[in-house]
A and B are shown apart, each in its own frame.
Chain A
């Protein structure tokens, strides 16, 4: 029985409409956020204009947690009961964690160059964040180059769980260990004293939440297409049309 025929054109226009509406909403929120950061939020007294990196830096760390959580959920689900969907969720989450981890680890050092006079220090939070980022890079590299068999998928799922285990360590590293990374958001020092600064940060979190959802959804669409392709290729082999290729 050919499974591909039934699912090949299983398109849902209303879902596409929701997706593109979400993309539009994300674009609007980001536009507003940039406008608000540069035209409404005051320049910080001591650090100057470079402090405005913070309104995207902190939310990108939070968005990395969203991707990592998606990867964890998919990985655990795959280890419990291997399905194409759980595998796709795990992979999608890992890719999102890399994107936001990449933003976190590039904007942070640029802020640090001004605040600390150095792009990088082996501060506990920086080190654990880098470690977490590298775990997700390992996940994606493993899936891209080590094949797509059940063994590779299980190993990648284990990495997904390991990556999530590192998240609380990143979060609590600033509270438990010494170091240079400030605690402006969770600390009691009042680093964001002007109301507009708090609003800008709030919109930053909203913008990055929306962007995380959009990117996870976007990659999920690709992964679902990839799953359909695998089914179609198996059908093609059954029919003697052996044209399997890697995409």
Chain B
């Protein structure tokens, strides 16, 4: 029983194997330029935010236009009802 416990108990946690510092691949050929990767990452970041904001802004404009049109129609119908 005690032998089993000793075998099953790990001496290190899986997380102990993880890197805790920044380390690039060692000895491997350079497949990707760091500058290109950096520029791509920053460009994509702003592209995602920009597309999201533009989509939200367009949706807001469509809603506002529709609200204005409906408001005019409702006001007209309301005025007619009062007469």
Number of A-B residue pairs having CB atoms within 8 Å of each other in the complex: 172
A232 touches B74 (CB 8 A): yes
Chain B residues 19 to 77 lying within 8 A of chain A, measured CB to CB, are 19-25, 28, 31-32, 34-35, 37-38, 40-42, 44-45, 48-49, 52-53, 56, 59-60, 62-64, 66-67, 70-71, 73-75, 77
Given contacts A48-B34, A50-B38, A114-B25, contact A218 B53 (CB under 8 A): yes
Report which of A50, A191, A221, A229 forms a contact with B21, defined as CB distance below 8 A: A191
Q: Is B83 an interface residue (CB 8 A)?
A: no
Q: Is the CB of A106 within 8 A of B74?
A: no
Considering only CB atoms, which chain B residue lies closest to A100 in the complex?
A: B48
Judge if A52 is at the interface, Cβ distance under 8 Å: yes
Q: When the two chains form their complex, are residues A53 and B60 in contact, meaning their CB atoms are under 8 A apart?
A: no
Set of chain A residues within 8 Å of B21, measured between Cβ atoms: 46, 182, 184, 189-191
Contact: B14 with A4, CB < 8 Å? Answer: no
CB contact list, A160-203 vs B, under 8 A? 174-184, 187-191
B78 within 8 Å of A by Cβ? yes
Asked if A215 is at the interface (CB within 8 A of a chain B CB), the reply is yes
Query: Do A179 and B31 touch (CB < 8 A)?
Result: no
Query: Which of A47, A107, A226, A247 touches B23 (beta carbons < 8 Å)?
Result: A47
CA distance A52 to B37 in the complex (A): 10
Taking CB atoms, residues of chain A closer than 8 Å to B49 are 99, 103, 211, 215
B70 touches which one: A60, A184, A229 (CB < 8 A)? A229
Give complex CA distance A111, B63 in Å: 40
Chain B binding surface, main DSSP class: helix
CA of A239 to CA of B74 in the docked complex: distance in angstroms? Answer: 8
Is A245 located at the chain interface by the 8 A CB criterion? Answer: yes
The answer to whether A182 and B22 touch across the interface, beta carbons within 8 angstroms, is yes
Contact of A247 among B15, B34, B59 (CB under 8 A): B59
Task: Determine whether the beta carbon of A2 is less than 8 Å from that of B74.
Answer: yes
The answer to whether the Cβ of A85 comes within 8 Å of any Cβ in the partner chain is no
Instruction: Give complex CA distance A226, B64 in Å.
Output: 9
- 19 further A-B contacts with Cβ under 8 Å, apart from A47-B23, A110-B44, A189-B20, are A47-B24, A50-B35, A50-B37, A53-B38, A56-B41, A57-B41, A99-B49, A103-B44, A106-B48, A110-B38, A174-B15, A182-B22, A184-B20, A190-B20, A221-B60, A225-B60, A225-B67, A233-B70, A235-B74
Chain A: residues with CB nearer than 8 A to chain B?
Answer: 2, 4-5, 8, 44, 46-54, 56-57, 60, 95, 99, 102-103, 106-107, 110-111, 113-117, 174-184, 187-191, 211, 215, 218-219, 221-222, 225-226, 228-229, 232-233, 235-236, 239-241, 243, 245, 247
Binding site for A on B (CB under 8 A): 13-15, 17-25, 28, 31-32, 34-35, 37-38, 40-42, 44-45, 48-49, 52-53, 56, 59-60, 62-64, 66-67, 70-71, 73-75, 77-78, 81
